[in-house]
A and B are shown apart, each in its own frame.
Chain A
Amino acid sequence: MNTSMQHIENHITTGIPLSDKPKLSARNVDVFYGDKQAIHDVTLDIGANEVIALIGPSGCGKSTFLRTLNRMNDTIDICSIKGEILLDDENIYGPDVDTVPLRARVGMVFQKPNPFPKSIYDNVAYGPRIHGLAQSRVELDETVEKSLQRAGLWNEVKDRLHSPGTGLSGGQQQRLCIARTIAVDPEVILMDEPCSALDPIATAKIEELIDDLREKYTIAIVTHSMQQAARVSQRTAYFHLGQLIEVNPTKQVFTTPQHELTEAYITGRFG
């Protein structure tokens, strides 16, 4: 079975890209870096309270796609986007949309934990302060405690809230970044390989956390670990050369994928 590149030109996504109750909807999204097209006509819903995993080989466009969902690509001058991304039916690329509140509603956790060079407390309090979400010190204290608890970090740091965040272990730093993200009460959390710099125990804690967070938030996670995608997500989207090849329930993708490219990738036949 040799597949040429022609095989996937103008590919129509296999499986179920739409959701009954979409939180975020991408419609016919193209992304360009200068002249080079990185994403081709991607239509995908991310359902409310679902964890969707975006997988695919390096350079397939999964991170680029993730970054379109809260306009992180705006920071790259040569990057342009066509199509629509709707957050609760409102186009986030509309002319009146301010990216600051947008990124509070659609938060992001990165590959390498990136705590600010401030105390643990100030890291978590930073967002609520700049967005004016806390009216008093007491309210801010509550937000910090609640966020750290939700991120599963409270018990480990409650006695040293004023030590620097950078003094924590890698896994703790990543959970601190998650606490910082949820402190501004987002609706969607985007995670770009959140565990790739962590050891297996820290990874297990983050995965456990993702499962808990799903009750309240919608989560899209880019991961290179197929086992992680299988463990944490309800649906899996497979990207290949900038196209969305297949979206299906995770169980199905990892046992009986519909598209041969998905099969070839997840069984380690290329990548």
Chain B
Amino acid sequence: MDMNFNQHISQQFNADLEGIRNQMLAMGGLVQRQVADSIEAICSGDTSSADKIIQREDDVDAMEVKIDQECTHILVRRQPAASDLRMVLAVSRVVRDLERMGDEAAKVAIHALEVANGNQAASKMCNQSIHHMGNAVVKMTSDALDAFARHDVKGAIEVVRSDKMVDEQYASAIRELSTYMMEDPRSIGQAINILWILRAIERIGDHARNISEQVIYLVSGTDVRHSSLSEMEEQAQSDLPDNT
């Protein structure tokens, strides 16, 4: 009896699962670049890359559809169970989050162009918050994908922790933005662009958190969506005594 549990009896099944996992990580790489470039565009004010970011959005969409179709094929052909089932479900959910992150990155790029073409005096509003939040979500995106690739629950929980910080920074940036608008109503047009950008960055953080939740599901089978950070930590400890 073959006792190598890393391989399926069907080599093709191994290849199929490996295929969706690798494609998802490649899609993640592309989305990570989209997010980083869009943050770079808004922080540096150099919007030359914005058009490219908006164009590449189509590639991200196409990858989502293709990977999701392959997940469907695996479900139909293999009726996967246990960790294989969790891999297919997790990949299918993660590509959806990645696609939305791509959308948000494109939104940042679109509004970066509008900010660059608008009132220059007001274009620096919340500059620091955008910079901090932007760098945080770029790192979170990359960390969430790393955690997925390495089945790293601890790493996934760190991303969830960072998302909490990004949410706090977002709330504080909105308060700052309201102050600008009250002080100078002429800045409202720009402020709305900045608001959209902050909102998009905050959403990218939420999607990175969702990906991390899928890492926990993939590894332990526990669905931690809608759980608090402390509940997640507790769950991870009870599921994985070796991982504490």
Contact = CB atoms under 8 A, between A and B. Distances in A.
Interface in B187-221: 220-221
Interface residues of A, number: 22
Interface residues of B, number: 22
A266 B9 contact: no
A93 interface: no
A270 B85 contact: no
Contacts of A57: 1
Given A2-B4, A4-B3, A270-B1, A255 B82 contact: yes
A267 B79 contact: no
Given A254-B81, A255-B82, A255-B85, A268 B5 contact: no
B36 to A, nearest CB: 35
A230 B80 CA distance: 12
B9 A2 contact: no
A269 B17 CA distance: 13
A271 interface: yes
Interface in A215-265: 226-227, 230, 254-257, 260, 262-264
A28 to B, nearest CB: 26
B2 interface: yes
A1 B6 contact: yes
A267 B1 contact: no
Contact of A2 (B3, B81, B85): B3
B84 interface: yes
Interface in A194-229: 226-227
A155 interface: no
B1 A269 contact: no
Contacts of B7: 269
A255 B86 contact: yes
Interface of A: 1-4, 57, 226-227, 230, 254-257, 260, 262-264, 266-271
